[in-house]
A and B are shown apart, each in its own frame.
Chain A
Amino acid sequence: MSADRWRLAYPHVVRDERRQGTAIDWSETCERCPTRQCEVSQKEELQLCSYGFNFQRVSSDLVIAGILVKEFQPTTPARTKNFRKYPNWIIPLAHLQGSVNSVAEVISEEEHEIQTEKTQILDKYVRDEQYKKEFLDVLKPEIQKGLSFVHDYKQINSQIAQNINVIIETKYQGVDLEEKLKLCSHAEAAIYWSSKFLQEKLNVARFLIQPEWITRESEKGLFRVHGLVLKYVRIYQHMFDSKSIRVSVNGHSVGNVLGNSGAAGVIPHTLLDNALKYSPDRERVEVYVNDDAAGIEFSVSSYGPRIEDYEEEKIFQAFYRGGHAQKLQEEGAGYGLYVAQLVAKALRASITVDQNIKQMRENRYWTTFKVVLPYG
């Protein structure tokens, strides 16, 4: 902010620097002032110091001080004395308000310009994906430290997974695991699917910590998108059932994609995870997988939090969470969609979001996340 642009008639302080006014200088009393109450107070209102002078803070950087405002009440002996000693320092309230208003306007314009400039720089930074190289590199050790529990969780989860497998395998007869799972008690099935669910959750963290995995040559191969989507629908089915949410899978797809199928799983996982997280109970989630001319279209539609226009790109940034999403669900790290988009880009695609604000349920709007994956 350029403080030099302000030409003030009255004495003022700009960022701890005392400046004379063009019409009124600092009084002798103010020059000798040991307390400088005017600089300390953060209240943006007309006040009176113990030496009998008026002052008003205009912004965090600017205070007009050392003046005697004619209409100010109540008065004090010091102020009465100043009125006699410094008659040229007396000004009408309207003059002060005029100055404050014009300065406030300049400040507001400048702040707006700065904010616009900041936004432009930030948007360019994000568009160029420069943040991935700099911001995330800087954050990486912190992220790793924060996710250090992941290894312990994996250990615990492998014990849960193996033991529930032993229970299911020894207790039930069937030609395959699918059949045995159908015979399981609700509690057994819940443990089994929760373990799978946790495994997938932890897997997303893997690609956040080590994005090199996404494009690692050794992990690449052809995979069927429809099969991959169905795998995640199965993993999430139990959780959707517990909220009485109906999930339908439509479309026809036999197409393959070339890439890391483990990483690609982050896309259906994240979109289904968000649908589960934000959808009201007893609602529906529509999954669509279809072979189109341009590629394999995959989408998940459900009722979700309002996404403002300016948030449509931001929700794919690392650690950004939509304002309405935060209100609906306080908890959330904000990296699911970021990693999913990272994976989509590695597959030469991009996830887009579309929201129908006319279709609404319980303060949520019909939202479709879509990606078209090129054939392998």
Chain B
Amino acid sequence: MFGLFEQRRWPEFTPDDIRKRSRLLVIDDGDFPYQTLFKRDGYAIDKWSDIEDLSRLERGEFDIILLDIHGVGTKESQEQGFGILKHLRSSTPTQTIIAYSNADWSLKYQGFFDLADAKLDKRADYVDFKRVVDEQLRRRFSLEFYVDRIVRAVGAKVSDPEKLRKFAIKAILTGKTKALEKYVSTTLDAKDVLEIVLNIAQVAIGLASLTSV
């Protein structure tokens, strides 16, 4: 398909492409009236009243999860939604999560909001929900998103983040991860981090191989 040194370009996804390709999930033990509006506007959106299948979340089946903090994930974690968010952050580093709750006042829940990619007030207008979701989807379908996640996964352990960034871009666009793997493993001795980096790269390679719908 590609030559030995051929480097693909990151596909140009139009807002329509993004909407058609993406899957949204709302996890909230209460009603979510905006589901009908998202469906009307062409989004594939599911709603769970609780964690119906954690493994599907771990596999990254959904592009964006709108996650409430209270009343969900009680079987999986004492910290409820916050516990689920923390778990997905480590198990599925490319997962985009929007924290969405009425418990946005209490400072003790701020960790939940800080750990999320974005936050939404439950009382916000639909146009605000749609704007935040569209922003997150646009980010998620960009090369920068995956490169950032790789840099974030390695963290301060790498002395030259710019070099790591270049290796990551090359790996994603060529579909070959050997050089990235070598650079990360020689820079730091942490197999778990390397595994996360390669997982992120693989998700991005899959997306890079797509052409427009």
Contacts and interface: CB of A to CB of B under 8 A. Distances in A.
B114 interface: yes
A212 interface: yes
Interface in B121-177: 122-127
B37 A170 contact: yes
B11 interface: no
B30 interface: yes
A151 B124 contact: no
A170 B106 CA distance: 34
A166 B102 contact: no
Contact of B37 (A159, A166, A209): A166
A166 B129 CA distance: 12
A162 B102 contact: no
Dominant secondary structure at the A interface: helix
Interface string B2-33: 00000000000000000000000000001111
A114 interface: no
A161 B125 contact: yes
Given A177-B127, A210-B106, A165 B122 contact: no
Contacts of B40: 169-170
Contacts of B125: 161, 165, 177
A94 B124 CA distance: 78
B67 to A, nearest CB: 15
B127 A157 contact: no
A163 interface: yes
B106 A165 contact: no
Dominant secondary structure at the B interface: loop
A322 B78 CA distance: 48
A218 interface: yes
Given A170-B40, A209-B105, A210-B106, A162 B127 contact: no
A170 B39 CA distance: 12
A363 to B, nearest CB: 37
B124 A161 contact: yes
A166 B33 contact: yes
B37 A158 contact: no
Contacts of A218: 110, 114
A212 B106 CA distance: 10
Interface in A207-246: 209-210, 212-213, 218
B36 interface: yes
B123 A199 contact: yes
A163 B31 CA distance: 10
B107 interface: yes
A163 B33 contact: yes
Interface centre among A158, A195, A199 (most CB of B within 10 A): A158
B34 A162 contact: yes
A201 interface: no
Given A155-B30, A162-B33, A218-B114, A169 B126 contact: yes
Contact of A206 (B31, B36, B105, B110): B105
Contacts of A284: none
A176 interface: yes
Contacts of A210: 105-107
Given A206-B105, A210-B107, 6 more contacts: A151-B103, A155-B30, A155-B102, A161-B125, A162-B31, A166-B33
26 contacts: A151-B102, A151-B103, A154-B102, A157-B123, A158-B102, A161-B122, A162-B31, A162-B32, A162-B34, A162-B122, A165-B126, A166-B33, A166-B34, A166-B126, A169-B37, A169-B126, A170-B36, A170-B40, A176-B127, A177-B126, A195-B123, A199-B123, A210-B105, A212-B107, A213-B107, A218-B110
Interface of B: 30-34, 36-37, 40, 102-103, 105-107, 110, 114, 122-127
User: Which 5 pairs, one residue from A and one from B, show the smallest C-beta to C-beta distance?
Assistant: A158-B122, A162-B33, A161-B123, A165-B126, A158-B123
